[in-house]
Amino acid sequence: MSLISVTNLSVRLGAATVLSAVDFTIERGEIVTIVGPNGSGKSTFLRCLIGALVPSTGQISRAPGLRIGYVPQKLAIDPTLPLTVGRFLSLPRRRKPSDVAAALDQAGVPHLEPRQMADLSGGQFQRVLLARALLENPDILILDEATQGLDQAGSAAFYHQIEMVRRTYGCAVLMVSHELHVVMAASDRVVCLNGHVCCQGTPELVASAPEYRALFGTGTKGALALYRHEHNHSHEAEGCTDPSHSHSHSHAHSNAPAHIHRQDEGQNV
Amino acid sequence: MFDDFLLRALLAGFGVALAAAPIGCFVVWRRMAYFGDATAHAAILGVALSLAFGLPVFTGAVAVALLMALTVSSLSGRGYSMDTLLGVLAHSSLAFGLVAVSFLQDVRIDLMAYLFGDILAVTTGDLGVIWGGALGVVGLLVWRWQALLTTTLNPDLACASGLDPRREQLVLTLALALVVAVAIKVVGVLLIAALLLVPAAAARPFAATPERMALLAALVAMAAVAAGLGVSFYHDTPAGPSIVCAAAVLFAFSSLWRSVRNAA
């Protein structure tokens, strides 16, 4: 059975209908990205999935005993609240120090336990949030624009970490993002959301769908070009006997001339 | 030198300090200072009502404080401006309480005792109520501590972990109403907010974890109670305000120490 399955979900907040008639499923081990412009209901949708918001109509069914690792968009910790990284990771369930250390290691920020949360850099903070989600030993990781506030290199590194984590844990990943070029290449499926599901399918399918182009086509040529570039790389990787995602990733970002070349190609499509 | 009434006052103060300090930490972390004020001010209405109906003061105070806290909780997040709403509720409930007291012609009550506390008149029965309430609050907080902290950090994070943020908010609201009710006798409704906030704020610079902050806040509050009662005894000052003054002095030292440390 699916990890989470949503049928005919609608959410009204006050007078506004934020989401209407959304159908959605995610399977074990799948990477799904939700894209959509600001105010398209992406965060509202995630909040319904984690149970923070009760939909006006429709049904959400979760697999029995589903463990969710949730990485919020932003976590504002009041400066009056003293909190070490180690203590934060032991919320709401107490964790063994060895488990905490292992999770921090997995998230790429080892030995941060004694540091105050307030003293972390943006990148470290997001990775600590990721480590906390991993401690739930999740069936599904849910990330809500987790790289907001990181620069491009920082968010690329963060998503790379997510891919490594997914390979280790075998969990499904559901993320919401604006950063189409980084995210879409790694996704099994993309859902384009704008109050309703505009279109969904493989990254290639969605990127060429007229509904998607109507939303993102004009203003984000750069992002689309970058995406196509990534997409080409992943095809090359498929040809290899031992596809290394990490290689294709770093390559994609360092190879500037190829980028320009692909951009030209993209305009011909 | 130590009289029985002073010992009782000290014990009563310690009981309230023990319960108020950790709740005060949550009030500080969640920026609920005005919320605490509104709850405390509503309690005077509870006092008036329980005197009118011949109920124990504690019962009426808890009931009305809880009612106020629940009203504010349910009104929050519905498009009202929170600080305005709380300001309206806090002061109008105080005003209604004062007016209600004036109707009680056949009951002779010392209004000042409820506004500023009457810790030196604490009876053994009061001590039982105060320590019962305080231990109840501490027990409630220890039981829900992890969930309360997670909800305080981020309600969505709590949801994703299978907690219900609204239930935790309710736990906190109930604990706050209890603290207010037991603190009336010690510092009075007007100064309860100070007993919640000042020790927590004074403890902040010395704490690296939430638990240490709560523990330190309790120690600061107890020190303030002891110092305030001492000053009150030797210089014949009002006891409740003296306790709050002592806490404020401790806060000043703490802030001074923090700025010295940050400058170094």
Q: Write down all domains in chain A, each with its CATH number in brackets.
A: 4-67+138-210 (3.40.50.300)
Q: Which residue has the higher pLDDT, A221 or A112?
A: A112
C-alpha–C-alpha distance, residues B134 and B249, integer Å: 25
Instruction: Give the rounded percent of residues in chain A with a pLDDT score beyond 90.
Output: 35
Q: In b/e form, how buried is each residue of A194-229, taking b as 16+ CB within 10 angstroms?
A: bbebbbbeebeebbebeebeebbeeebeebbbbbbb
Spell out which residues of chain B touch residue A139, defining contact as CB-CB under 8 Å.
none
The residue ranges of every structural domain in chain B are 4-190
Spell out which residues of chain B touch residue A13, defining contact as CB-CB under 8 Å.
none
Residue A54 scores a pLDDT above 80: yes
A123 touches chain B (CB under 8 A): no
Tell if the CB–CB gap between B204 and A84 is shorter than 8 Å: no
> To the nearest whole number, what is the mean pLDDT of chain B?
89
Class of domain B4-190: mainly alpha
Mean pLDDT, range B119-138, rounded to an integer: 92
A contact test, residue of B29, B32, B157 with most A CBs within 10 A: B157
Residue of A nearest to B206 (CA): A82
In this prediction, residue B107 has a pLDDT band, given cuts at 50, 70 and 90, of low
Residue B25 Cα, gap to closest chain A Cα (Å): 8
A contact test, residue of B78, B149, B154, B156 with most A CBs within 10 A: B156
Residue A166 scores a pLDDT above 90: no
pLDDT of residue B77: 61
- List the single range of A214-218, B47-51, B115-119, B147-151 with lowest mean pLDDT: A214-218
Task: Look up the ipTM and state it.
Answer: 0.85
Mean pLDDT, range B171-189, rounded to an integer: 89
Mean pLDDT, range A141-160, rounded to an integer: 83
- List the single range of A250-254, B122-126, B214-218 with lowest mean pLDDT: A250-254
Other C-beta atoms closer than 10 Å to the C-beta of A160 total: 18
Q: Which H helix or E strand runs over A166?
A: helix A152-169
Mean pLDDT, range B160-186, rounded to an integer: 89
Residues 6+ apart with CB under 8 A from A23: A6, A7, A8, A9, A197
Mean pLDDT, range B221-246, rounded to an integer: 94
pLDDT of residue A181: 66
Residues for chain B: how many in total? 264
pLDDT of residue B78: 64
Q: Which residue has the higher pLDDT, A222 or B105?
A: B105
Tokens of B40: 């405390």
Residue A239 scores a pLDDT above 60: no
Q: Which H helix or E strand runs over A58?
A: strand A57-62
Residue B144 scores a pLDDT above 80: yes
Mean pLDDT, range B132-142, rounded to an integer: 95
> Do A168 and A69 form a contact (C-beta atoms < 8 A)?
no
Tell if the CB–CB gap between B153 and A82 is shorter than 8 Å: no
Residue of A nearest to B144 (CA): A92
Residue B70 scores a pLDDT above 60: yes
Residue A233 scores a pLDDT above 60: no
pLDDT of residue A242: 38
In this prediction, residue B106 has a pLDDT band, given cuts at 50, 70 and 90, of low
- List the single range of A61-65, A75-79, A217-221 with lowest mean pLDDT: A217-221
Residue A173 scores a pLDDT above 70: yes
> Which of A213, A196, A259, A261 has its CA nearest to residue A34?
A196
Tell if the CB–CB gap between B31 and A78 is shorter than 8 Å: yes
Residue A110 Cα, gap to closest chain B Cα (Å): 20
Residue B155 scores a pLDDT above 80: yes
Spell out which residues of chain B touch residue A84, defining contact as CB-CB under 8 Å.
208-209
Task: Label the pairing between strands A197-201 and A189-193.
Answer: antiparallel
Question: Kindly report the CA angle at A92 between A4 and A183, in degrees rounded to 5?
Answer: 45
Tell if the CB–CB gap between B30 and A68 is shorter than 8 Å: no
Residue B93 scores a pLDDT above 50: yes
pLDDT of residue A157: 84
> Do B183 and B115 form a contact (C-beta atoms < 8 A)?
no
Q: Which residue has the higher pLDDT, B247 or B82?
A: B247
pLDDT of residue A89: 95
Residue A237 scores a pLDDT above 70: no
CA torsion sign for B43, B44, B45, B47 is positive
Residue A90 scores a pLDDT above 60: yes
Residue A245 Cα, gap to closest chain B Cα (Å): 30
Residue B199 scores a pLDDT above 90: yes
Residue A51 Cα, gap to closest chain B Cα (Å): 6
In this prediction, residue A179 has a pLDDT band, given cuts at 50, 70 and 90, of low
Residue of B nearest to A77 (CA): B153
Residue of B nearest to A71 (CA): B157
Tokens of A74: 């932003």
Q: Which residue has the higher pLDDT, A240 or B237?
A: B237
pLDDT of residue A156: 81
Residue B156 scores a pLDDT above 80: yes
The SS3 of residue A61 is strand
Q: Which H helix or E strand runs over B102?
A: helix B82-103
Residue B31 scores a pLDDT above 60: yes
Residue B219 scores a pLDDT above 70: yes
In this prediction, residue B79 has a pLDDT band, given cuts at 50, 70 and 90, of low
Mean pLDDT, range B211-218, rounded to an integer: 96
B167 touches chain A (CB under 8 A): no
Tell if the CB–CB gap between A52 and B159 is shorter than 8 Å: yes
pLDDT of residue A61: 92
Tell if the CB–CB gap between A72 and B201 is shorter than 8 Å: no
pLDDT of residue A39: 81
Residue B54 scores a pLDDT above 70: yes
In this prediction, residue A241 has a pLDDT band, given cuts at 50, 70 and 90, of very low
pLDDT of residue B80: 66
Residues 6+ apart with CB under 8 A from B103: B48, B52
Mean pLDDT, range A60-66, rounded to an integer: 91
